[in-house]
């Protein structure tokens, strides 16, 4: 995979963490080998149900050599905000290393309802202070109408972000049904590259990846990847 120069590729005037133009460029070039050492767009900290402190996560991201990533805690952006504070301090203390730092985007994972099925929708590069996101950053799953996939997708996009259906082969409804329905609602992408059986070392699941890739292509969706880290290593899920 060619290295994406996130500075040169983007001409967006948005803050770096909300740069959807650069993020789209990454999603358009991601492939099965991108995660977890080049890009990783699904991970959790102690601010939701993960084990990593956000500051330790940042240290790992730099040590691994990630080019770009997002912290996707459930129903909170506290982990992202702590990571941004750590990153600002790191840049101030190490100005000569700025060019080698990964690009950190805003992120979140929201429990939602689609075709009467509980699903998870990932949001990226949104404005964390936008009023549309307020119901989804309360550290608990949304209820009733605000939990509908239509509302979640619309809210993420109103806040300037991209909405992605997480691990689409994990639900009780088929990915064919769910991805078609999500595409109708205007979702931006699907988590195509995902390890469904938690292998070590991490690798995307071939059969499910092929299935989701085909559906993504059919509906013209972006492809994302993520380790869905809940443990102490960004290179594994658990």
CA pair distance 52, 216, nearest whole angstrom: 31
Instruction: Quick: pLDDT tens for 60-101.
Output: 999 999 999 999 999 999 999 999 999 999 999 999 999 889
pLDDT at 13: 54
pLDDT number for residue 144: 97
Domain boundaries, the chain: 18-225
Q: For 104, phi and psi rounded to 5 degrees?
A: -105, 120
pLDDT for 1 beyond 60: no
The whole-chain average pLDDT of the chain stands at: 94
Q: What is the dihedral of CA 95, 97, 99, 100, to 10 degrees?
A: -160
Determine the Cα–Cα distance for residues 186 and 165; give it in Å rounded to an integer: 11
pLDDT digits (tens, 9 = 90+) for 159-205: 999 999 999 999 999 999 999 999 999 999 999 999 999 999 999 99
Give 176's Cβ-side CA count (13 Å radius). 1
- Is the domain spanning 18-225 CATH 3.20.20.140? The answer is yes
- Determine how many CB atoms are found less than 10 A away from the CB of residue 215: 21
Q: What is the DSSP string of 43-54?
A: B-BTTTT-SB-H
Run of H or E including 116: none
Per-residue pLDDT tens digits for 118-163: 999 999 999 999 999 999 999 999 999 999 999 999 999 999 999 9
């Amino acid at each position: 995979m060619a290295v994406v120069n996130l500075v040169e590729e983007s001409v967006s005037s948005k803050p770096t963490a909300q740069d959807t133009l650069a993020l789209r460029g990454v999603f358009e070039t991601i492939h099965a080998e991108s995660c977890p050492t080049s890009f990783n767009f699904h991970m959790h900290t102690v601010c939701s149900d993960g084990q990593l402190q956000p500051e330790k996560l940042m240290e790992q991201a730099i040590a691994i050599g990630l080019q770009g990533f997002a912290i996707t805690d459930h129903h909170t952006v506290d982990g992202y905000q702590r990571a941004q504070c750590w990153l600002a301090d790191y840049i101030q203390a190490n100005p000569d290393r700025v060019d080698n730092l990964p690009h950190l985007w805003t992120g979140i994972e929201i429990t939602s309802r689609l075709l009467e099925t509980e699903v998870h929708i990932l949001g990226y590069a949104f404005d964390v202070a936008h009023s549309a996101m307020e119901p989804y950053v309360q550290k608990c799953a949304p209820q009733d109408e605000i939990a509908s996939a239509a509302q979640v997708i619309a809210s993420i996009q109103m806040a300037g972000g991209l909405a992605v259906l997480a691990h689409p082969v994990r639900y009780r409804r088929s990915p064919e049904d769910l991805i078609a329905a999500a595409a109708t609602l205007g979702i931006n992408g699907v988590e195509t590259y995902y390890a469904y059986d938690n292998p070590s070392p991490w690798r995307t699941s071939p059969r499910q990846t092929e299935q989701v890739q085909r559906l993504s292509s059919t509906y013209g969706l972006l492809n994302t990847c993520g380790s869905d880290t809940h443990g102490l290593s960004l290179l594994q899920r658990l």
